Structure 1
Amino acid sequence: MTLYTQFAEHIGAILDRLEAAGDIPAGIDRKNVAVEPPRDPSHGDLATNAAMVLAKPAGKNPRELAALIAPKLARLDGVSGAEIAGPGFINIRLDEDAWRDELRTIAAAGGDYGKSAIGAGKTVNIEYVSANPTGPLHMGHCRGAVVGDALANLLEYAGHKVIREYYVNDAGGQVDTLARSVHIRYREALGEDVGEIPDGLYPGDYLKPVGVALATEFGDSYAQAEEGEWLTLFRERAVAAMLELIRSDLALLGIRHDIFASEADVQAAGKPQAAEAELRSRGLVYDGELEMPKGKTPDDWEPVELPLFRSTEFGDDQDRPIRKSDGSWTYFGNDLAYHFQKSQTADVLVDIWGADHSGTVKRIKAAVEALTGGKTEFDVKLVQMVGLLRDGEPVKMSKRSGSFVTLADVVEEVGKDVVRFTMLTRKADAQMDFDFAKVVEASKDNPVFYVQYAHARIRSVHRKAAAEGIDISGEADLGLLDGAELALVRHAAQFPRIVEAAAGAYEPHRVAFYLFDLAAGFHALWNRGNDHPDKRLLVVNDPGLTRARLALAAGIGQIIRNGLAIMGVEAVEEME
């Protein structure tokens, strides 16, 4: 149990006693009662809004209710004072032993420190990456891949059951284009001079091995054949090859998915028809005509009757067609069915999309709400593109891809951990530049380096203590830690709160921000020893003090490892 959960229980017990005494009504909803650090550290160590959120249902003034709670908090072990502030907040001051106890809690919990049960086993389906299976992943896919995977780790850490899903768009015209592009590479592998790849096809060299494999398997059987004879076969083989390439690219980032769901399979299983029937049965799909688009005139607009989903009933700005005039499914019709399929096995759906898909968020949210009767929670996290720079200059395209810089190229140059950490150093919907020079820079301006360096320093001082023959195996006297050192424990103790807040908001970047601040606090503590040897973590002639400070360092290192594990980043033992 962490310090914050411990005091949440204390407050719950106090409220129980107030109920039993008749001071507040029984059964008041307490879900919004929180324990957190005060905004101004000078006001105390913890703060609670209990009186503020419960006063109205309790029929009391907030300060009146706070006056009933604060004295009971003040009498708890480890509490040096509880003060009412402003309209009814309660600030709590702890004695120093509370922070020493929390450091012991960190040591005892180890890799489980910060884990939460707020997920209560709820199943969350996170769909991320979902790039068209037409080539290798590029850096536009990278950010969404990292955000989605880190979010999956975070939600598991917070007690959810997570399904990692990739949606394969293998039923659209782009996969026919892929098959035609592969057919050219197939003929090339047979010795034909194919010249320049025609406009509209995929020109990348990554398709050459697919062509060679087909030439080896089928010889020249399809070299001069009509398209209808080979298109389906080449499409299936090409998509399979591209998915293997995509899986390989994702593996470079340490990313795996539990499910690769096929759009073609969704259609073949009749899922769009089933979704339409379900919505029609409830009057949420009707046959009607779309409004004339802006800029069109009656002379150049021919209205067509289409099946329309009543998305306006769920906050959208217009009803949306689920089929085209030729009877084929619209993108929305397919997506509606796919999300209905996902909702059958999950309590919550989270999609990680590129920011260019922002226009479709409202309609898909409307569809999920309609199809599930509002029982399935649905959220979309939009991810902005990444600008690639080298010393401030835009990076040229990759020869391998033909039009973009591949994810594999970037990971090969700077490493998985640098890529993953960097992708989480800004909010997902904020613009980001990835400068090859800056992300490997050994400076405090580089968050990746700064956090890794903190962990490496912690490990190095433990190795040095062993080399100096200092016995650090016994129980440390944490009473030897000074105020600045205990202040760092206060910061460390916020990690469980950060995990829960980040998980609740589906924002894994909050963990990266927290680790950077924690690392900064540790580096500041380390740097005290530059001018004052007695402030160093390792004081050779004082093994007792060294043991206490290394216990502190070990606790900080543990939290850095726990946070980096959520981000999918290794905690390095030493820096080169």
Structure 2
Amino acid sequence: MNIFKELGSDLKNRCLQICADTEIWNQATLETPKDPLNGDISTNIAMLLAAKTGENPREIAIKFKELITDIPYVAHIEVAGPGFINFTIKAEKWHDCIKSILNGDKDFWEVNVGKGTKVNVEYVSANPTGPMHIGHARGAVYGDALANILKKCGYAVTKEYYVNDAGSQIDVLIDSLLIRYKEALNGEKAIIPEGFYPGEYLAVVGKKLATDYGHKLLDMDENSMRQKLKKIAVSEMLELIKLDLGKLGVKHDVFTSEQSLHDNGKIEEAVAILTKMGLIYHGILPPPKGKIDENWQEKEQLLLRSSNYGDDQDRPIQKSDGSWSYLAADFAYAKDKIDRGFECLIYILGADHSGYVKRIKAVIEALSQGKVKSDIRTSQLVNFVKGTEPIKMSKRSGNFMTVSDVINDVGKDIIRFIMLTRRNDVTLDFDFTKVKEQSKDNPVFYVQYAHVRAKSILAKAKENIPSAYEVFTNREFNLSLLNSEEEIQLIKLLASWPKILSSSAITREPQRIAYYLIDIASRFHSIWNLGKENNDYRFNIEDNLELTAARLALVESIRKVIASGFELIGVTPMDKM
């Protein structure tokens, strides 16, 4: 049972004579009011219709109300405010939700809002210049959780990693590895110039090169040697990244090489298409605004008309040496995705790419002629601290904490959950001390403890009250006994899982799952704490087998929903702590 889906269907079937506009019905929402005094579920359908017809929304809402008074599971209907229609649902309908959870009903567990839409989610895409530092983890977790949620909601999802194996950072990587290679051959500690990659991970690769090739690489002409070093360096760094991602529970379906776009002519192909569309031209950009650049010179460049799509100005797609810019490679990459049949392209970029959003949107709209949707999200920075000491990270300084380091310190599950406790576009504080505390102030511990507590209640009932446990497992319980206000409110929250799931997918906000799990844990712990002082609230009551069996059904429903939420955000539920 999905109460939102069922009520929406019943509402539409009874009110088509008032509103036959499919678009309005698709826009209408069914939400849980923030104030319980406004009922259990509220809809804005009357206000949407009024905005189109010009009629009074309250009068339209009253017309709706007259046609829906016979919905059997609705106890009360009220028109409120400017035209909201508020529904109060009968208790037995909420109890049906528990049955749906335990029986694995598709209407509850499978939310098909995607309807097979082919979606590409590109995330992480860290430069292959070393192991992943922990600063990359937020985008990795956000993208991975979002992809999981979209897949659960009926989208055909491909998880993709764009390997930035072309550009100046790769030249620096080659130079850094060459120093380490010579260091291994000579046996003398090398001095790493400023701006190079000094990390010991390259020293390991250098020793491997010395063992495998001896001096042979140095005997090659410079171009051949650098190409060989590039291939080895990128391959080794990518393996380190994949290893770190694996420890974080992230696995991509596809790895696409930027260099391959240069090599196979796809950039020229995409540029030719955009030129034919009149979107690429030779022109002169104005000088930088707000500052004086003594090195700036007026010159003609090959430009993208990105200002046609809301960008601040047109953008160059070639460097001064005639090579293609990073943006030009993105033309080819976007076209490659479009050619693969994706209907929606989702990019998860770092905070430093916020100015890049309008440009890539423009390219996708142009290359697909508006047929492919794009959704470009940025993950803001994470402030990592231990107590009061900030942790700084930079691959080039060699002073950085890898994802692997942090996993060894706090574990994968803590990283993934904490990264989803705020919106991705808001700065997040990650305190290595606090995240390991076992208290209600630590959200991942709080939710994990709820899952453990549920398992413990079920295990103790099986051992100490086997007859009640048997009634529960045989599904012979009487759910009408779950009638306290606290129990009903918790059941209502469990019933909203399909709504939370679909809204997380539609808004691209996986943190809604984390918030929801925290809310469930809070309500569950509150009832358990009431039971320490008042036996009426205890879950296992030895002299009341029927009530115990009903409450075991509630506990197992809580456990299943928490486990399902954990699965989507990539956290392993614990059985004991």
Q: What TM-score does the superposition give when structure 2 sets the normalisation length?
A: 0.94
Shift in Å at residue 212 of structure 1? 2.2
Residue 140 of structure 2 aligns with which residue?
145
Among residues 30, 37, 43, which one is paired with 2:32 in the alignment? 37
Among residues 562, 566, 569, which one is paired with 1:567 in the alignment? 569
Distance 1:243 1:298, change over 3 A: closer
Among residues 357, 361, 364, which one is paired with 2:357 in the alignment? 361
Distance 1:352 1:53, change over 3 A: same
Shift in Å at residue 112 of structure 1? 7.9
Cα distance in 2 between the residues matched to 1:374 and 1:215: 52
- The correspondence of residues 54-133 of structure 1 with structure 2, limited to 5 A, is 54-57=49-52, 60-109=55-104, 113-133=108-128
User: What code does the residue aligned with 2:209 have?
Assistant: L
- The correspondence of residues 411-560 of structure 1 with structure 2, limited to 5 A, is 411-471=407-467, 472=469, 473-474=473-474, 475-483=476-484, 484-560=486-562
Cα distance in 1 between the residues matched to 2:21 and 2:395: 70
Residue 46 of structure 2 aligns with which residue?
51
Query: Do the aligned residues in 2 keep the contact of 1:111 with 1:558 (CA within 8 Å)?
Result: no
Query: Do the aligned residues in 1 keep the contact of 2:179 with 2:190 (CA within 8 Å)?
Result: no
Residue 134 of structure 1 aligns with which residue?
129
Among residues 354, 375, 382, which one is paired with 2:378 in the alignment? 382
User: What code does the residue aligned with 2:403 have?
Assistant: L
Cα distance in 1 between the residues matched to 2:568 and 2:397: 31
Q: SS of 1:389's equivalent? A: strand
Cα distance in 1 between the residues matched to 2:265 and 2:394: 40
Give ranges in structure 1 of 5+ residues lacking alignment. Answer: none
1:55-106 CA deviation, whole Å, 9 max, x = no partner?
3445643222222221332221111111111222111111110111111111
Q: SS of 1:208's equivalent? A: helix
Cα distance in 2 between the residues matched to 1:422 and 1:24: 44
Distance 1:111 1:76, change over 3 A: closer
Residue 297 of structure 2 aligns with which residue?
302
Shift in Å at residue 301 of structure 1? 4.1
Structure 2 residue 155 is matched with structure 1 residue 155: no
Distance 1:412 1:399, change over 3 A: farther
Query: Do the aligned residues in 2 keep the contact of 1:185 with 1:207 (CA within 8 Å)?
Result: yes
1:356-401 CA deviation, whole Å, 9 max, x = no partner?
1111112111121122112111111111122221123224769998
Q: SS of 1:443's equivalent? A: coil
Shift in Å at residue 296 of structure 1? 7.3
User: What code does the residue aligned with 1:479 have?
Assistant: S
Structure 2 residue 165 is matched with structure 1 residue 170: yes
Q: What TM-score does the superposition give when structure 1 sets the normalisation length?
A: 0.95
Residue 406 of structure 1 aligns with which residue?
402
Cα distance in 1 between the residues matched to 2:391 and 2:359: 36
Query: Do the aligned residues in 2 keep the contact of 1:135 with 1:401 (CA within 8 Å)?
Result: no
Distance 1:463 1:267, change over 3 A: same
Residue 259 of structure 2 aligns with which residue?
264
More deviation, 289-298/300-309: 289-298
Q: SS of 2:104's equivalent? A: helix
Q: SS of 1:375's equivalent? A: coil
Among residues 390, 393, 397, which one is paired with 1:394 in the alignment? 390
Shift in Å at residue 190 of structure 1? 2.5
Q: SS of 1:265's equivalent? A: helix
Shift in Å at residue 491 of structure 1? 1.1
Distance 1:10 1:446, change over 3 A: same
1:201-259 CA deviation, whole Å, 9 max, x = no partner?
21111112211221222112234766334111011001000111100000001110111
Query: Do the aligned residues in 2 keep the contact of 1:349 with 1:378 (CA within 8 Å)?
Result: yes
Query: Do the aligned residues in 1 keep the contact of 2:184 with 2:207 (CA within 8 Å)?
Result: yes
Residue 9 of structure 1 aligns with which residue?
9
User: What code does the residue aligned with 2:97 have?
Assistant: E
Residue 350 of structure 1 aligns with which residue?
346
- The correspondence of residues 314-329 of structure 1 with structure 2, limited to 5 A, is 314-329=309-324
Query: Do the aligned residues in 2 keep the contact of 1:100 with 1:478 (CA within 8 Å)?
Result: yes
Shift in Å at residue 495 of structure 1? 1.4
Cα distance in 2 between the residues matched to 1:412 and 1:398: 20
1:509-565 CA deviation, whole Å, 9 max, x = no partner?
111011111110111111111101231111112111110001011111111111111
Distance 1:535 1:336, change over 3 A: same
Distance 1:299 1:508, change over 3 A: closer
Cα distance in 2 between the residues matched to 1:166 and 1:489: 40
Give ranges in structure 2 of 5+ residues lacking alignment. Answer: none
- The correspondence of residues 144-293 of structure 1 with structure 2, limited to 5 A, is 144-223=139-218, 227-293=222-288
Distance 1:229 1:204, change over 3 A: same
1:115-162 CA deviation, whole Å, 9 max, x = no partner?
311111101111111000000000111111000000000111111111
Cα distance in 2 between the residues matched to 1:498 and 1:295: 45
Cα distance in 2 between the residues matched to 1:98 and 1:297: 69
Cα distance in 2 between the residues matched to 1:303 and 1:357: 26
Cα distance in 1 between the residues matched to 2:412 and 2:113: 30
More deviation, 254-263/305-314: 305-314
Shift in Å at residue 571 of structure 1? 1.2
More deviation, 374-383/225-234: 225-234
Structure 2 residue 367 is matched with structure 1 residue 371: yes
Cα distance in 2 between the residues matched to 1:79 and 1:501: 24
User: What code does the residue aligned with 1:424 have?
Assistant: L
Shift in Å at residue 461 of structure 1? 0.6
User: What code does the residue aligned with 2:11 have?
Assistant: I
Q: SS of 1:283's equivalent? A: coil
Q: SS of 2:34's equivalent? A: coil
CA RMSD of aligned residues (A): 2.1
Residue 332 of structure 1 aligns with which residue?
327
Shift in Å at residue 188 of structure 1? 2.5
Shift in Å at residue 489 of structure 1? 0.4
Shift in Å at residue 305 of structure 1? 1.6
Cα distance in 2 between the residues matched to 1:273 and 1:239: 24
Cα distance in 1 between the residues matched to 2:355 and 2:345: 18
Shift in Å at residue 111 of structure 1? 8.9
